[in-house]
């Protein structure tokens, strides 16, 4: 066993000593459950951190991807042209509605920082909550 695994077992053993049957009779079912946890632990030693890192990495990549798009758009010399283009304005018009939700099935609560779980998608306010400061910063750099 690794040192980390040994420490986990030692912690579980310490908890089982604290709630021993002589310590508190009403805690006896927990002592039986502790034995089960120890047996289960010895069968499988999976590190949850490695599973969660995948979501963390995806979240970081998505956030940087969105920020890079914002940076590109604000720095582009064509920004004024895009904002004056009637086709672009027509495509953006629904986004101005207070009830607008972009509910693309690829959006995910665990990955997208701006995902609004109440709306089941990304709303303009959830997007701004995450990215507005970055948008302001990029815009300030554009004007200098």
By CB neighbour count within 10 A (0-12 exposed, 13-18 middle, 19+ buried), where does 114 fall? buried
pLDDT score, position 102: 92
Q: State how far the Cα of 102 lies from the Cα of 116, in Å rounded to an integer.
A: 10
Task: Quickly state the pLDDT bin for 120 (edges 50, 70, 90).
Answer: very high
pLDDT tens digits, one per residue of 2-36: 444 444 444 444 444 444 444 444 444 444 444 44
pLDDT score, position 42: 46
Q: State how far the Cα of 22 lies from the Cα of 59, in Å rounded to an integer.
A: 48
Is residue 97 predicted with pLDDT exceeding 70?
A: yes
Nearest CA to 129 out of 54, 79, 71, 66 is that of: 66
Q: How far is CA 19 from CA 7, 35, 39, in A?
A: 19, 12, 18
Q: State how far the Cα of 27 lies from the Cα of 25, in Å rounded to an integer.
A: 5
Is residue 126 predicted with pLDDT exceeding 50?
A: yes
pLDDT over 90, % of the chain:
37
């Amino acid at each position: 066993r690794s040192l980390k695994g040994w420490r986990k077992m030692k912690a579980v053993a310490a908890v089982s000593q604290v709630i021993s049957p002589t310590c508190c009779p009403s805690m006896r079912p927990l002592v039986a459950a502790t034995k089960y946890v120890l047996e289960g632990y010895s069968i499988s030693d999976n590190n949850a951190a490695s599973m969660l890192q995948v979501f963390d990495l995806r979240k970081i990549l998505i956030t940087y991807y969105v920020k890079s798009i914002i940076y590109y758009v604000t720095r582009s010399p064509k920004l004024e042209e895009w904002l004056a283009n009637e086709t672009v304005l027509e495509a953006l018009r629904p986004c101005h509605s207070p009830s607008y939700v972009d509910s693309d099935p690829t959006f995910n609560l665990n990955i997208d920082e701006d995902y609004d779980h109440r709306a089941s998608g990304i709303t303009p306010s959830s997007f701004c909550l995450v990215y507005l400061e970055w948008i302001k910063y990029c815009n300030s750099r554009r004007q200098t």
